[in-house]
């Protein structure tokens, strides 16, 4: 399992990235994260929804209640243009952090 701190730090780019692929609702976002991580990241409702609400408040995503057949209405989330811009910045930062980690981990100990 991935640590809670690393999971928390990655919530914004992960959610924005999933929504860039298409609109989704909470349970499906949780399911996609679990699938894409090979089960190493498990999010709960209590972890996801506060982040979704914050992203919506920041205008990075928007939501809409949609009825689907005979099932109860679901709140679907969609990334906004501002959210796409934020995702680009998040990606650049994660690439930079990853590059630093790669350099640190590839350093051979001096003899």
Place of tokens 């701190």: 5
pLDDT in tens, 91-110: 999 999 999 999 999 877 76
Phi, psi angle pair for 104, to nearest 5°: -65, -45
Fold for 4-106, please state it: Arc Repressor Mutant, subunit A (1.10.10)
Within 10 Å of residue 43's Cβ, how many Cβ atoms? 21
User: How confident is the model at residue 111, as a pLDDT?
Assistant: 62
pLDDT in tens, 25-74: 999 999 999 999 999 998 989 999 999 999 999 999 999 999 878 888 99
Domain boundaries, the chain: 4-106
What is the chain's mean pLDDT, rounded? 93
- CB neighbour list of residue 43: distance below 8 Å, 6 or more residues apart: 7, 29, 30, 33, 34
Half-sphere CA count of 9, side-chain side, radius 13 A: 9
User: How confident is the model at residue 29, as a pLDDT?
Assistant: 97
């Amino acid at each position: 399992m991935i640590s809670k701190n690393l999971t928390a730090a990655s919530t914004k780019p992960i959610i924005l990235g999933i929504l860039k692929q298409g609109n989704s609702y909470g349970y499906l976002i949780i399911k996609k994260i679990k699938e894409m991580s090979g089960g190493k990241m498990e999010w709960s409702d209590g972890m996801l929804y506060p982040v979704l609400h914050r992203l919506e408040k920041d205008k990075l995503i928007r939501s809409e209640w949609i009825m689907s057949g005979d099932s109860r209405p679901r709140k679907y989330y969609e990334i906004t243009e501002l959210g796409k811009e934020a995702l680009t910045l998040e990606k650049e930062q994660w690439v930079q952090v990853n590059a630093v980690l790669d350099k640190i981990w590839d350093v051979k100990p001096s003899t």
